[in-house]
Each structure stands twice: as structure tokens, then as C-alpha cells.
């Protein structure tokens, strides 16, 4: 199992989401990344700042994986729009 590490930027972005149910859904879904790579809705990105994204409804959770120490660094949480990718 992988350890989940929420970066400050991602935690602040998550906290700014107004709807508590959406915020809880994003947090709970992101916590399932501890079972990486056996998680649904993950996509490897090309030509993007972060190598992976997790889709949670209208939001995207961008993250990096460190396989040597089994840590997933959650970098950003963004609402899906024209500028997300």
C-alpha cells in the first residue's frame, strides 16, 4: 500500500470547495490512491506539469507517484474547465 501525502496547495484547494459533500467525495476518493495502481479513473498525462490525474466528478486531482518509497503526493485539486489541462 502507498502512503498519501497531501501537499499544502492541494489541501488549501480542497478546503476552498464550498460544498461539503463534494469535498468529502474528493477526499475519500483520493484516499483510495493508497491502492495504486488498482484504482479507477486514473489517467497518465503527457505534456502536463503532473504525471497523473484522478477524476472525481467535475474535479481533477493531480498527483505524482514515488514507487521507491511508496508515497503518492497529491499536488493539486482543480475544477474541470477549459484551462485544467
Domain boundaries, the chain: 3-79
Scan for cell 481533477, then name that residue.
60
User: Going by C-beta distance under 8 Å and a sequence separation of 6 or more, which residues neighbour residue 72?
Assistant: 2, 3, 4, 5, 33, 34, 36, 63, 64, 65, 66
The pLDDT value given to residue 84: 62
The pLDDT averaged over each successive group of 10 residues in the chain (85 residues) is 97 96 97 94 94 96 95 95 68
Q: Quick one: fold of 3-79?
A: YaeB-like fold (3.30.2310)
Amino acid at each position: 500500500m502507498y502512503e498519501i501525502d497531501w501537499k499544502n496547495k492541494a489541501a488549501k484547494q480542497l478546503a476552498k470547495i464550498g460544498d461539503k459533500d463534494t469535498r468529502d467525495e474528493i477526499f475519500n476518493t483520493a484516499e483510495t490512491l493508497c491502492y495504486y495502481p488498482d484504482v479507477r479513473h486514473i489517467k497518465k498525462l503527457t505534456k502536463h506539469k503532473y504525471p497523473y490525474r484522478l477524476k472525481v466528478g467535475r474535479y481533477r486531482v493531480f498527483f505524482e507517484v514515488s514507487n521507491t518509497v511508496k508515497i503518492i503526493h497529491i499536488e493539486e485539486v482543480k475544477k474541470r474547465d477549459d484551462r485544467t489541462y
